[in-house]
């Protein structure tokens, strides 16, 4: 099982990355640090006479990950009650990616690519991040990706997630289930 | 009454901008086109020893608008069920702005700055954009901005919003109320 | 076009009923006052060896309305951020109704029965009633009823809805659209 | 620590009750089976000249539980994406209870009464029951009850909850935390 984690934090060693490490402990996977990629915001040319234009940035790495993974993790800090802006820009570009003639197989591939969301935030996230979870569901429904699990952790300062026993317990169970599937 | 509209679309003459024009027809206001500004994503240094570092981009124009407006409009297309990535990056930077020592009056000022959200999208937005509205409420609650009204319109192609009679009727009433207040 | 409005308030001349009257002004329709019907809560016998048992109450009037209407209105006060308990009990009984052997045509019929929600409440309803709208969407999705419109009005005291210009404007437009369809 | 669990299912030995048993294993608490109580729907007389009238039913048992408990559990099956109708009727009556002159201390008492929600349902509940969680948050905010935790379990048939390892793990951790507090 090929796995890629999109790491959406602006910090190194972020809480959301740490939670990802727990979920995928002992499992081979690849990380894509969005903060280290140059990803342009979407330029919505869906209805332009010439359609979308090729963008010279690192987005092909995202598409490549989607095309080669059986499971993708969206690991994001909860900034202002939703995913980070750099992750949002990545998601916004899906609109162009699924129309990109260089990757005609992408749309079909996504329907067989499982999605997991791991999010960590500081202001009562198990309630106030619920709209974000609903949005991820809508996103995955639109591109027909199976959305199989999410964990919302609590944390502000670096390392805080280590104190969220509930989130860690959920991560440990998920880790066990994923390990069983990767054997 | 000073009014600024943050225009979050990647398109010129977007549906969300058009809806803003209807809401503010006959009223003096300023537009800030986020697509034409250079705004860096947040670098979350809240817990760094040195704190946030000055960012060399156009964000001070956003702060300036917040400091001088009695009412701000968040006009955004609904991209993937929430605000556009460029608007999200603007919002993410609030975390730095409210700690920026150059603008000690900002936090207090926001509590007296009214917020309105105008959003237009294409996939059943009056239901699927509701999580976004809840997030805006959480955002405005956090910075204590009064969130007084929102309109969700339906549209995909440029100009579509002109066909959404319900959204336009809401915009017309809001326009009348705002006009009465600006006299 | 046959239309039935389920009136979910415990009050006579409630704000939600008044909003319904505006939406359906000049159109022939039937009202079912849930407060005047005896409807038992669901007894969930889906997994019981004998299945659901016939309940001696007024629920057949609800089923009859669903079977004979092209459009049904769920008019409810917003009690504690969702539909009233008497309307919830009505909805809960759908689980039994769609399995009721006396009405084998019900499930199919519902897929062609349009649903509209009209709700009035007092505590910032255009934001705090949004989870209720999402639930109605899930409900209608489950039974495949087309959910075509909703209006959320503000009101506490009897008659308050008359002051909600936005809700009344939406109701007037909806009324015009419905009238055009009933000609 | 006095604890009461409101059991909102129409079934005996329901999944939501079973989840409650896990959360409160080894801890003394009282159960109130709503299906066995006679609770009238609210009759909204807030604005009636004579105000609310005394209702002859079992609701005083609910008030008694609220007045004597430090922690209350709302254990409910997820019927049609929200709490059961019998629990909703119980909640609707809060409007009368907090104005009941026989219990002038109730409002103040609730601000010191912790609330936990345990809910089990069958149709993708960890996503589709999120609006219900948001509503519970609004409810508890209104009466100022601290809402400290919730668990959403998956289950349809009696006993199903025993297979939801994630919900059971969360319940076990919560149990441990509650036990530590009841020593």
> What residue ranges do the domains of chain C occupy?
3-182
pLDDT at residue D89, as a whole number: 98
- Please tell me which residue of chain C has the smallest CA distance to D90: C85
Q: Is it the case that residue B123 has pLDDT exceeding 80?
A: yes
- Please tell me which residue of chain D has the smallest CA distance to C141: D80
Pick from C130, C137, C169: which is nearest to B173 by CB? C169
Low-confidence winner among B1-10, C92-101, D47-56 (lowest mean pLDDT): D47-56
Residue B112 near chain C (CB below 8 Å): no
Residue D81 near chain A (CB below 8 Å): no
Q: Is it the case that residue D183 has pLDDT exceeding 90?
A: no
pLDDT in tens, C90-139: 999 999 999 999 999 999 999 999 999 999 999 999 999 999 999 999 99
pLDDT in tens, A132-177: 999 999 999 999 999 999 999 999 999 999 999 999 999 999 999 9
Pick from A126, A134, A174: which is nearest to D127 by CB? A134
Pick from B127, B147, B169: which is nearest to C173 by CB? B169
pLDDT in tens, A47-85: 888 999 999 999 999 999 999 999 999 999 999 999 999
pLDDT in tens, C40-55: 999 989 888 899 999 9
pLDDT at residue C182, as a whole number: 84
Q: Cβ separation of B123 and A131 shorter than 8 Å?
A: no
The sign of the dihedral angle between the CA atoms of B84, B89, B95, B98 is negative
How would residue D137 be classed by pLDDT, with cut points 50, 70 and 90? very high
> In chain B, what residues touch A77 (CB-CB under 8 Å)?
44
Distance CA D40, CA D49 (A): 21
Of the residues B116, B127, B180, the best mutation for testing chain C's interface (the one with the most C CB atoms within 10 Å of its CB) is: B127
Chain B segment 37-66 residues within 8 A of A by beta carbon are: 41-44, 46-47
How would residue A99 be classed by pLDDT, with cut points 50, 70 and 90? very high
* pTM of the predicted protein model: 0.97
pLDDT at residue A183, as a whole number: 72
Q: How many Å separate Cα D160 from the centre of its chain?
A: 21
Q: Is it the case that residue A101 has pLDDT exceeding 80?
A: yes
pLDDT at residue D73, as a whole number: 98
pLDDT at residue C35, as a whole number: 97
Q: Cβ separation of C134 and B127 shorter than 8 Å?
A: yes
> In chain D, what residues touch A147 (CB-CB under 8 Å)?
127
pLDDT at residue C80, as a whole number: 98
pLDDT in tens, A68-78: 999 999 999 99
- Please tell me which residue of chain D has the smallest CA distance to C90: D85
pLDDT at residue B10, as a whole number: 92
> In chain A, what residues touch B52 (CB-CB under 8 Å)?
none
* Mean pLDDT value of segment D126-142: 98
What percent of chain C shows pLDDT beyond 90? 94
Low-confidence winner among A11-15, C85-89, C179-183 (lowest mean pLDDT): C179-183
pLDDT in tens, B7-38: 999 999 999 999 999 999 999 999 999 999 99
> In chain B, what residues touch C137 (CB-CB under 8 Å)?
127
Q: Is it the case that residue C183 has pLDDT exceeding 90?
A: no
The sign of the dihedral angle between the CA atoms of C5, C10, C14, C15 is negative
Q: What is the DSSP letter of C35?
A: G
How far lies D59's CA from each of B104, C135, D36, D89, in Å? 53, 27, 12, 10
Give the CA count within 13 Å in the CB-facing half-sphere of C174. 25
Residue D131 near chain C (CB below 8 Å): yes
pLDDT at residue B182, as a whole number: 85
Distance CA C83, CA C136 (A): 9
**How are strands ordered across the β-sheet holding B30-33?**
B30-33, B3-7, B71-77, B114-121, B147-154
Q: Looking at the DSSP assignment, which residues form a beta bridge with residue D21?
A: none
Would you say A72 and A24 are in contact if contact means Cβ atoms under 8 Å apart? no
| Other CB atoms within 10 A of residue D108 CB | 9
- 3-state SS of B126-166 is HHHCHHHHHHHHHHHHHCCCCEEEEEEEECCCCCHHHHCHH
* Mean pLDDT value of segment B68-85: 98
Chain C segment 149-168 residues within 8 A of D by beta carbon are: 156-158
How would residue D182 be classed by pLDDT, with cut points 50, 70 and 90? confident
Mean pLDDT of chain D: 97
What percent of chain B shows pLDDT beyond 90? 95
Question: How many degrees, rounded to 5, is the angle at CA B94 between CA B93 and CA B95?
Answer: 85
Q: Cβ separation of C79 and D138 shorter than 8 Å?
A: no
pLDDT in tens, D81-93: 999 999 999 999 9
What percent of chain A shows pLDDT beyond 70? 100
Pick from D126, D147, D173: which is nearest to A166 by CB? D173
Q: What is the DSSP letter of D69?
A: -
Q: Please provide the CATH number assigned to the domain covering A3-182.
A: 3.40.50.360
How would residue A42 be classed by pLDDT, with cut points 50, 70 and 90? very high
The C-alpha of B51 sits at a distance from chain C's nearest C-alpha, in angstroms, of 35
How would residue A182 be classed by pLDDT, with cut points 50, 70 and 90? confident
Would you say B75 and B6 are in contact if contact means Cβ atoms under 8 Å apart? yes
Mean pLDDT of chain A: 97
Pick from C80, C92, C130: which is nearest to D139 by CB? C80
Question: How many degrees, rounded to 5, is the angle at CA C77 between CA C74 and CA C81?
Answer: 105
pLDDT at residue D83, as a whole number: 98
* Mean pLDDT value of segment A88-113: 97
* Mean pLDDT value of segment C6-29: 96
């Amino acid at each position: 099982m090929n796995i890629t984690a999109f790491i959406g934090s602006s910090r190194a060693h972020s809480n959301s990355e740490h939670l990802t490490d727990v979920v995928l402990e002992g499992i081979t996977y690849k990380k894509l640090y969005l903060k280290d990629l140059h990803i342009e915001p979407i330029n919505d040319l869906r209805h332009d006479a010439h359609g979308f234009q090729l963008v010279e940035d690192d987005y092909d790495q995202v598409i490549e990950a989607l095309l080669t993974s059986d499971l993708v993790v969206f690991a994001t800090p909860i900034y202002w009650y939703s995913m980070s802006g750099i992750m949002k820009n990545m998601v916004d570009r899906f609109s162009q990616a699924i129309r990109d003639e260089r990757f005609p197989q992408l749309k079909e591939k996504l329907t067989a690519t499982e999605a997991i969301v791991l999010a960590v935030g500081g202001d009562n996230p198990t309630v106030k991040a619920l709209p974000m979870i609903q949005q991820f569901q809508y996103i995955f429904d639109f591109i027909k990706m199976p959305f199989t699990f999410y964990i919302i952790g609590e944390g502000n300062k670096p390392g805080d997630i280590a104190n969220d026993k509930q989130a860690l317990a959920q991560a440990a169970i998920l880790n066990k289930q994923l390990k069983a599937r990767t054997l």
